[in-house]
């Protein structure tokens, strides 16, 4: 993976498509990927690339005669309903397609190229999306020290931080079948929970439904069973990054998590944004990785000069709650506060010989910053529900109500770089199914 700036990061670059030159999530410097079709149609899903307010239909582009070589090979596999085969091709193919699209969308493209590519555009306003990959496995990490301490103070106040947290990226195996694309509603889950002072658990709808602000990363080329992915090579295996909401039934989760990890409290729904942003697009927003003085330093297999130099991504994040009455932002933070990097998560995942495959999804775990207003879940923001959030208009939320929608948004910005965005990840809570 090339971690250096190149011509696709030029903040002065402009597209012939005017909507890409306004302040938007998808300028020419971004070019994220998804799978889409015209909403309500019987078309097959296929790969697309976002530019301004349009989608480049990669199935149409592959037949348009504008590409050749590796870029054409990469585009051709995007005619399928998932991006798994593109993910398997590796970073050279991903970059070839991205750079070819950059050239075709640039103002310096020839009039003939512009005319041909314009015929491959579909307005984002008329499309629907699907999960971008066939997800074989889903792993969710636990890598924010601020989240870990906030949760520890609620669940285990005398010893809030797990002894292993500062030594390795902790994770659990999630449920791939319930990963859904943004905009998919879900029903409040049923399950067991323990009431304070009760002698036995009760069964019923979740009463403490929560969101978790996360990023997801889709894996590209994998590794063979028994082999490992070394830290310096880990980013070559990451196809790209999306927004992820790991919905959580806190009352069910806290009852079932002794002695094992999350089960029904987590497996009912995980929402992801449709657009997957490449690590190449994120190059301008890299930062050094370091540990505070006096804290444990990573063991050698989780450490490298490159990871120290630029292993962190400064991705701005926010969460909004939409009730039937209003829309309110409840937190804003940055991914730069995470205790472990994307590369360290991938390396740790394979150190025992686990084989990752193209399309596997890894969640970063809840992203919380150092201040109380940057906590990435309601359970933290409300101190376990004891101090509900005051929303405009007199509403309060300790946990989510039926009819609430949660919207995650992400973007990158800094002086001297073109801002890019991730779109949104949205989900709506429906009432528990009657008769369950």
Binding-site positions for Ca(2+): 140, 212, 214, 246
Query: Do 61 and 87 form a contact (C-beta atoms < 8 A)?
Result: no
Binding residues: 140, 142, 212, 214, 246, 253, 266, 270, 366
Domain annotation for the chain: domains and CATH numbers:
7-130 (2.30.30.230), 138-430 (3.90.850.10)
Look at residues 222, 221, 241, 181 and name the one whose alpha carbon lies nearest to residue 32. Answer: 241
Residues at the binding site for substrate are: 142, 253, 366
H or E stretch covering 323: none
Residue 407 structure tokens: 């919207």
> What's the pTM value of the predicted model, to 2 decimals?
0.97
Query: What SS3 state is found at 217?
Result: strand
Alpha-carbon distance of 435 to 73, in angstroms, equals 51
Whether residue 37 contacts residue 46, with contact meaning beta carbons closer than 8 Å, is answered with yes
- Summarize the chain as % helix, strand, coil (round to 5): 25, 25, 45
Active-site annotation, residues? 147
366 conformational bin, left if phi > 0, alpha if psi -120 to 50, beta if neither: beta
CA-to-CA distance for 215 and 317, rounded, in angstroms? 10
What is the pLDDT, as a whole number, of residue 52? 98
CB of 432 within 8 A of CB of 365?
no
> Could you tell me whether strands 127-130 and 121-123 are parallel, antiparallel, or unpaired per DSSP bridges?
unpaired
d(C-alpha 264, C-alpha 281), whole Å: 36
| Successive 10-residue mean pLDDT values, the chain, 436 residues | 89 98 97 98 97 98 98 98 98 98 98 98 98 98 95 82 94 96 98 90 96 98 97 98 98 92 95 98 98 94 97 98 95 98 98 98 98 96 96 94 98 98 98 83
Which H or E run includes 74? helix 69-76
Strand partners, 334: 316
End-to-end CA distance of the chain: give it in Å, rounded. Answer: 49
Question: What's the pLDDT at 436?
Answer: 64
- What is the phi/psi pair of residue 252, to 5°? -70, -45
Specify binding-site residues for Mg(2+).
246, 266, 270
| Confidence (pLDDT) at 130 | 98
Whether the CB-CB separation of 238 and 282 falls below 8 Å is answered with no
In this structure, the chain runs to a length of 436
Asked whether the beta carbons of 17 and 52 are under 8 A apart, the reply is yes
């Amino acid at each position: 993976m090339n971690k250096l700036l190149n011509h696709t990061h030029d903040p002065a670059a402009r597209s012939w498509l005017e909507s890409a030159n306004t302040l938007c999530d998808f300028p020419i410097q971004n070019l994220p990927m998804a799978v889409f079709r015209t909403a309500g149609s019987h078309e097959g899903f296929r790969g697309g690339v976002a530019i301004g307010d349009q989608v480049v239909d990669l199935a149409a582009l592959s037949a348009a005669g504008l590409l050749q070589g590796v870029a054409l090979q990469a585009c051709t596999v995007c005619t399928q309903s998932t991006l798994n085969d593109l993910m398997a091709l590796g970073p050279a193919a991903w970059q070839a397609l991205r750079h070819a699209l950059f050239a075709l969308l640039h103002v310096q493209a020839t009039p003939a190229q512009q005319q041909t590519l314009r015929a491959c555009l579909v307005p984002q306003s008329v499309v629907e999306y699907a999960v971008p990959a066939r997800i074989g496995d889903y792993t969710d990490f636990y890598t924010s020290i601020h989240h870990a301490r906030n949760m520890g103070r609620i669940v285990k106040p005398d010893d809030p931080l797990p002894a292993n947290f500062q030594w390795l990226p902790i994770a659990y195996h999630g449920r791939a079948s319930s990963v859904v694309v943004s905009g998919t509603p879900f029903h409040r889950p049923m399950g067991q929970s323990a009431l304070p002072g009760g002698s036995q658990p009760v069964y019923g709808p979740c009463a403490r439904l929560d969101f978790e602000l996360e990023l997801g990363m889709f894996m590209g080329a994998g590794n063979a069973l028994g082999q490992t992915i070394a830290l310096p090579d880990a980013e070559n295996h990451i196809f790209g990054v999306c927004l992820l909401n790991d919905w959580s039934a806190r009352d069910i989760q806290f009852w079932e998590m002794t002695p094992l990890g999350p089960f029904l409290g987590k497996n009912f729904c995980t929402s992801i944004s449709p657009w997957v942003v490449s690590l190449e697009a994120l190059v301008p927003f890299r930062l050094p990785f370091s540990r505070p003085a006096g804290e444990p330093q990573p063991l050698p297999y989780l450490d490298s000069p490159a990871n120290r130099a630029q292993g962190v991504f400064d991705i701005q994040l926010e969460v909004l709650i939409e009730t039937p009455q209003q829309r309110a932002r409840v937190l804003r933070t940055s991914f730069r506060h995470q205790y472990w990097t994307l590369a360290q998560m991938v390396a740790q995942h394979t150190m025992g010989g686990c084989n990752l495959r193209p399309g596997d999804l890894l969640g970063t775990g809840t992203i919380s910053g150092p201040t109380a207003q940057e906590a990435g879940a309601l359970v933290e923001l409300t101190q376990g529900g004891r101090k509900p959030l005051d929303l405009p208009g007199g509403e309060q939320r300790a946990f989510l109500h039926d009819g609430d929608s949660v919207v995650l948004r992400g973007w990158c910005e800094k002086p001297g770089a073109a801002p890019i965005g991730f779109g949104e990840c949205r989900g709506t809570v429906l009432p528990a199914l009657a008769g369950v």
